Amino acid sequence: MKDKIVFSRRNFLRTSALASGGILIGVNFLNACAEAAQPPVDVANLDFKDFNAFIKIAENGYVTIFSPNPEIGQGVKTSMPMIIAEELDVPWDHVTVEQAPLNTEKYSRQVAGGSQSIRAGWDSLRQTGATSKQLLINAAAERWGVSAQTCTASEGIITNEEGETLGYGEVVNDAAKMEVPENAVLKDPKDYKIIGKNAVNVDIDAIITGKPLYGLDFKEEGMKYATVMRAPAFGEKLKSYDDSEAKTVNGVEEILQFGDKIAVIATNTWAAMKAKRKIKVQWEPSGNLEGSALHSQKLDAILDRKDLKVEREDGDVNKAFADADQVIERTYESPFLPHNCMEPMNFYANVTADKVYLVGPIQTPAGTASQVAKLLERDEKDIDLQMTRMGGGFGRRLYGDFVLEAAEISNLAKKPVKVVYSREDDMTAGTYRPSIKYRIKAALKDDKVTGYNLKEAAINSNMYGLIPNFFPAGAIANYKVETGNYKSDISTGAWRAPYTNFLAFAEQSFFDEIAGELQIDPVQLRLDLLDNVDEGADERIEYSASRMKDTIRLAAEKGNWGSAEPGIHKGFSAYYSHNSHVAEVVSIGMQNGFPKVKNVTVAVDCGIVVNPTGARNQVEGGVIDGIGHAMYGYFPFEDGRPKAENFDSYRLIRMQETPVVDVHFVENTLSPTGLGEPGLPPAGGALANAIKAATGQRLYQQPFINSFEKQKLQDIKV
């Protein structure tokens, strides 16, 4: 299976001879290179406006990959260079990955982020490596005066038919003067030497020795620290404030109002935080001061409506329900959830007459830079936004509200400032996973599921993209998904595995109930339903029934599904999201009437696994995150205010509640897909199903802890 690829060198790859010796290859994965774009002749002048990455091959054959792509924690800074190195065919320990230094002021705005990186980059990264390798082979062939087709390269060494060899480093200076080849042959996956082997996180040394990496660590000469006071309730605005006491705090330079917010600018973080608490503010209503009880009523009212938006409809659902032997209907409810990245939101801004210089952790640099330009009425060319490593994202850093705050404060104060959120700011300033209710109804006839109707009622916005076409779409002939929403002043946004993080819980709990009614094993029910799917018949259906079945069987086998163990109760769940298929078996025991999650066995089909240690880490984390939030994530509102604001009142899963996660990958040679998110959605459903098996109690509301009275929030022991 040799995959021949042809594409124009003008479109993606340029070379230059380095002044110090060696070759520098500039790559643009996403767009065609500009006509005049040329890599520099020294690596101190890397310019990421024209290229996404640079590959330097030195005269000793060692390879350095320079990338401006920062990390949010999903490991692409390690796995993406592995793909280049594989096709370039160099030993991984000859490869260094460097994040281009922050002070180059030449960061790309073309960088993609999020869980699609590997999937989107798979072809172009392989092509980059393969084309670079061919270029080096061509240089060696010319030196020997033989045809390049008679030469091969492996592990950084080129060999001809006579058995003569040249190291990559010996031909780099010649290669830098040669034409970039138009075509290159990609490896057969069975020949992979780097892909599929464990590679430790390339930033590990800096992380474990405490080097400055994150936005909060960034400093510049003359920089001030700013904290921001925002309305404590959604639906409130600023009426008046008295900052006389706050101004007396040592280190405070200035307190200023912008919109309905107040900024404290100080010479150090502590002074800015302390002074903020001393501002006496009066707020007044600007909208509805809503609470969770009201939201629950509003969402129920939406579920009762007959005129919801139809997202997908197959067959005749009404007839299926009219003809049914039995109809099951259940409603599931989730709270809002804050993201709680460990690194609180922060951003540096230095707005001057010449330019707007922004540095910090953000997943959407291009869109955010445009928003800043608009806010400050500046030309987009004036905006220079640089990214740092991110202390978690989970969706929160898709939204640049804190970048806008930093830019506005710097613009008003005419100083370089770094806005720093306290944990309380981070948890109460908004952009939550929306509170959602699902009502699911199934028609059962002759021991089959003949009809399915899912209604989603959500705060602010609904499921998007192809989600209405996820399983069981295609598996049940009469199928309908409907949505509606209630607009609230409480701000909402993407949260790790948006919508599916709760939808999967609802559906996977519901299938367990159907299996119970039909007196069939829950795993078998899913396999039977998948047998109904006519694969490839509907292009909106992305999941593969055959891959899903293999994944389900692997999880069932590895998780010893169906075998009884004393004191252990199991739950099953399977879900496709973010282009990967995942199935999970959760095993729990009961301790003093409380569920103790012991093990989670996970099967994943994400195609080729580029970096197994990194991939496992993502799945382990996603599963534990899913278990943790299903179990403990509770974020109710009253009078427009969240009732939790720090980790003493908001519970995250901790070490002693953590199960052992055992990850198995389905082995195949299909293109790789993302892993940052797909492990999470099935976890909550599998846990709920295990709790049902253990206690007989079926849970319809997250978090589950609220169903176990004795263990409510006051029991958090740290």
Partner 1 sequence: MATYTLKVNGKKVNVEADDDTPLLWILRDELNLVGTKFGCGIGQCGACTVHVDGEANRSCLLKASELVDHEITTIEGLAEDDDNLHPVQQAWKEVDVPQCGYCQAGQIMTASAFLKENPAPSNEEIRKAMHGNICRCAAYNRIEKAVALASKK
Residues that bind partner 1 (CB under 8 A): 71-75, 198, 200-201, 203-205, 207-214, 216-217, 219, 225, 250-251, 268-271, 273-274, 340-344, 389-394, 420, 422-423, 613-614, 617-618, 620-625, 628, 646-648, 652-656, 658, 660-661, 718
As a three-state string, the secondary structure of 187-240 is CCHHHCCCCCCCCCCCCHHHHHCCCCCEHHHCCCCCCEEEEEECCCCCCEEEEE
Q: Closer to partner 1 by CB, 276 or 549: give it.
A: 276
Nearest approach in angstroms of CB 249 to partner 1 is 8
As a three-state string, the secondary structure of 227-251 is EEECCCCCCEEEEEEECCCHHHCCC
Q: Closer to partner 1 by CB, 111 or 341: give it.
A: 341
Tokens of 401: 């509200």
Nearest approach in angstroms of CB 584 to partner 1 is 15
Q: From the centroid of its chain, how far is CA 263?
A: 31
**d(C-alpha 551, C-alpha 607), whole Å:** 11
Q: Closer to partner 1 by CB, 51 or 650: give it.
A: 650
Q: Closer to partner 1 by CB, 147 or 646: give it.
A: 646
Q: Closer to partner 1 by CB, 286 or 649: give it.
A: 649
Nearest approach in angstroms of CB 599 to partner 1 is 11
Using CA atoms, how far residue 454 sits from 437, 463, 478, in Å, is 10, 12, 12
Place of tokens 């001061």: 289
Nearest approach in angstroms of CB 535 to partner 1 is 34
Q: Closer to partner 1 by CB, 22 or 344: give it.
A: 344
Nearest approach in angstroms of CB 505 to partner 1 is 17
Nearest approach in angstroms of CB 198 to partner 1 is 7
- The answer to whether residues 663 and 585 touch, using CB atoms and an 8 Å cutoff, is no
Q: Closer to partner 1 by CB, 309 or 654: give it.
A: 654
Nearest approach in angstroms of CB 418 to partner 1 is 10
Place of tokens 């897909």: 673
Nearest approach in angstroms of CB 525 to partner 1 is 30
Nearest approach in angstroms of CB 1 to partner 1 is 31
Give me Rg for the CA atoms of the chain.
28
Q: Closer to partner 1 by CB, 19 or 342: give it.
A: 342
Nearest approach in angstroms of CB 653 to partner 1 is 7
Nearest approach in angstroms of CB 40 to partner 1 is 29
Give the amino acid at 361.
P
Q: Closer to partner 1 by CB, 1 or 718: give it.
A: 718
Give the amino acid at 657.
E
Q: Closer to partner 1 by CB, 149 or 591: give it.
A: 591
Sequence-separated (6 or more) residues with CB below 8 Å from residue 208: none
Place of tokens 């163990």: 565
Q: From the centroid of its chain, how far is CA 613?
A: 18
Nearest approach in angstroms of CB 623 to partner 1 is 8
Nearest approach in angstroms of CB 606 to partner 1 is 16
Nearest approach in angstroms of CB 172 to partner 1 is 30
CB atoms near residue 584 (< 10 Å): 34
Nearest by Cα to 711 from 596, 622, 567, 605 = 596
Using CA atoms, how far residue 475 sits from 61, 582, 697, in Å, is 54, 17, 28
Tokens of 277: 């608490």
Q: From the centroid of its chain, how far is CA 585?
A: 23
Q: Closer to partner 1 by CB, 99 or 292: give it.
A: 99
Q: Closer to partner 1 by CB, 199 or 231: give it.
A: 199
Nearest approach in angstroms of CB 275 to partner 1 is 11
Nearest approach in angstroms of CB 621 to partner 1 is 4
Cβ-count burial of 370 within 10 angstroms (0-12 exposed, 13-18 middle, 19+ buried)? Answer: middle
**d(C-alpha 462, C-alpha 578), whole Å:** 17
**d(C-alpha 158, C-alpha 92), whole Å:** 17
Nearest by Cα to 457 from 488, 497, 495, 496 = 488
Is residue 472 reached through a cis peptide bond, with omega within 30 degrees of 0 on the bond before it? yes
Sequence-separated (6 or more) residues with CB below 8 Å from residue 420: 216, 225, 226, 227, 269, 272, 273, 344, 346
**d(C-alpha 654, C-alpha 361), whole Å:** 25
- The count of C-alpha atoms lying within 13 angstroms of the C-alpha of 326, restricted to the half-sphere facing its C-beta, is 11
- Tally of residues, the chain: 718
Strand 356-360 versus strand 346-351 pairing type = antiparallel
Looking at residue 577, the DSSP 8-state letter turns out to be E
120: helix, coil or strand? helix
**d(C-alpha 77, C-alpha 203), whole Å:** 8
**d(C-alpha 138, C-alpha 173), whole Å:** 12
Q: Closer to partner 1 by CB, 310 or 342: give it.
A: 342
**d(C-alpha 301, C-alpha 503), whole Å:** 19
Q: Closer to partner 1 by CB, 290 or 620: give it.
A: 620
**Cα angle for residues 317, 319, 323 (degrees, 5° grid):** 120
Place of tokens 């282009």: 579
Q: Closer to partner 1 by CB, 417 or 514: give it.
A: 417
Nearest approach in angstroms of CB 394 to partner 1 is 8
Cβ-count burial of 60 within 10 angstroms (0-12 exposed, 13-18 middle, 19+ buried)? Answer: middle
Sequence-separated (6 or more) residues with CB below 8 Å from residue 430: 234, 401, 490, 491, 492
